[in-house]
Amino acid sequence: MARSCTLVLFALLLLPAVPAKVSAQELPREIDFSRHIVPTLYRLGCSAGECHGAFAGKGGFRLSLFASRPDIDGLNLRGTMNRRIDPLHPERSLLLRKPTEDHMGHGGGRRFATGSPEYRLLHRWIAEGARTDSRQQHQLASVR
């Protein structure tokens, strides 16, 4: 019993922390995929089981269930011949258009508004090259 509780606690510690909501004026100085993008997509419900976190994904796009594998999410977002991310024209990226435009046929409906903090965060991340590798090394310090 104690061993299973320890394993569950350890697994929860490995999940990316959901950052506090970003105000309309402040965005992180440096956007980190694992620390900012993955938790934002999680908070918006994109990696839920009934959405892109489903085993087969939705609409040809798959994220790890509950944002449990940011490394795989990065590969799926940046895959070859991918229309989801357009660093030259971020506003054309499906990652921004589908959840904000009603006529795009997004099964999950509108998830956020153009100009919202979530939109601005994702737009800036895409414009800066949509890096999925973390410049900072995140390590688990200890489990008590």
Write a three-state SS string for the chain.
Answer: CHHHHHHHHHHHHHCCCCCCCCCCCCCCCCCCHHHHHHHHHHHCCCCCCCCCCCCCCECCECCCHHHCCHHHHHHHHCCCCCCCCCCCCHHHCHHHHCCCCHHHCCCCCCCCCCCCHHHHHHHHHHHCCCCCCCCCCCCCCCCC
Average pLDDT, the chain: 80
The pLDDT tens digits for 45-76 are 999 999 998 998 888 888 999 889 888 888 88
Residue boundaries of the structural domains of the chain: 28-127
Of the ranges 6-10, 80-84, 113-117, 130-134, which one carries the lowest mean pLDDT score? Answer: 6-10
Of the pLDDT bands very low, low, confident and very high (cuts 50, 70, 90), residue 18 is: very low
pLDDT of residue 120: 97
